[in-house]
Chains A and B, each alone.
Chain A
Amino acid sequence: MRVAKKKTGGILEGDLTPMIDMTFQLIAFFMVLINFSQAEQNEKIQLPDSQLAKPPEGPLEFPITIHLTTEGTAIIGSSELPIAALGPILIKERQVAASQGIGANEATIIIRAHKFAQTGRVQELIQKCQENDFEKFALRAKEDVGNN
């Protein structure tokens, strides 16, 4: 009986093209969806839900984001401090706005309060900002898509 001889010694080359195609598509997918706007987020804060919470149509003029935790402390930038101690930071923000020709009454304070934060604390925060001539506030909520 004749036995067919196997070809030996050749290099087996797998076709990498589909894998590379797929990998590039995955990279493109993640690149498009990546969100670098971490400055406005804080993992301590769970926003309340609202059906009407739609993203703003245009960028806000001089937004200042303040997070409010359940413990009643305010987080602005990288510092967490009691509401009563916010004064110097707000004065600094007001000065920065003024240096850009924006009045404190034109700047918008974005309040990202935890859904279980006490309302009285939120009002204290608003009052503190008002004492520093800020008038425009944006109460931030998470879009509730489940109940539409």
Chain B
Amino acid sequence: MKVRHGRSGGDDKIELQMTPMIDIVFQLLVFFIMTFKIVSQEGDFNVKMPLAAPAAGAPDDLQLPPMKVRLRAGAGGLLAGVSLNDKGFGTDMDALRLDIIGFIGDDRGPGSIQETAEVELDCDYGLNYEHVIQAITAVSGHIDGSGNVVKLVEKIKFAPPRQASGE
């Protein structure tokens, strides 16, 4: 029987065709570069607001009345003034935060003031939304020196919307 000898010279070089692979790789690279977009982190402030309904029973004595934060709009929707229960702070959100901290204190845990306290935001119709988020940030917490978030008021709701003409 005749045995066919394979090529086993050892000197033959196998040359891979690199061109198609490099073509594809560059196309992939171009695709990723073109679609690359730096997206900043986003986060949520949770608000639970069922449709206002008549109280079903007697009000809970342990429930504190909501702290009313009033945000007034100036020209162009800019913040003209912020107040907490009629106490004005100008436009200083840090002062609002300090007042909230003074009210809440260090009490934490179930049934604490921090847990039961509620803030009602009463905003002018034309106020820029960014100031509402600033106010929500001020009342809902702050970042301490070590970078940890210290929670303040977690229950936030909106007062009924004011009319556009009432600005």
Contact = CB atoms under 8 A, between A and B. Distances in A.
Given A115-B128, A141-B45, 11 more contacts: A20-B22, A23-B22, A23-B26, A30-B29, A48-B132, A50-B45, A50-B136, A50-B137, A105-B50, A131-B51, A135-B51
A42 interface: no
Contacts of B137: 50-53, 141
Interface residues of B, number: 53
B32 A27 contact: yes
Main secondary structure of the interface of A (DSSP, over half): mixed
B80 interface: no
A142 B40 contact: yes
Interface in B137-155: 137, 140-143, 147, 149
Contact of B29 (A23, A33, A135, A143): A23
Contacts of B133: 48-50, 115, 139, 141
A135 B129 contact: no
A96 B48 CA distance: 21
Interface in A5-48: 16, 20, 23-24, 26-27, 30-31, 33-35, 41, 47-48
Nearest to B141: A52
22 contacts: A27-B29, A34-B35, A50-B45, A50-B134, A53-B41, A54-B43, A108-B46, A115-B128, A115-B129, A116-B129, A118-B126, A119-B71, A120-B123, A120-B124, A120-B127, A120-B161, A136-B48, A138-B46, A139-B44, A141-B137, A143-B40, A143-B41
Interface of B: 18, 21-22, 25-26, 28-29, 32-33, 35-37, 39-51, 71, 73, 77, 123-134, 136-137, 140-143, 147, 149, 158, 160-162, 164
Contacts of A31: 32
Nearest to B15: A13
A122 B129 contact: yes
A140 interface: yes
A56 B147 CA distance: 18
A54 B41 contact: yes
Contacts of B44: 53, 56, 110, 138-141
- Chain A interface size, as a band, is 35 or more
A119 B40 contact: no
Interface in A112-148: 113-120, 122-124, 126-127, 130-131, 133, 135-143, 145, 148
Contacts of B35: 34
B128 to A, nearest CB: 5
A26 B46 contact: no
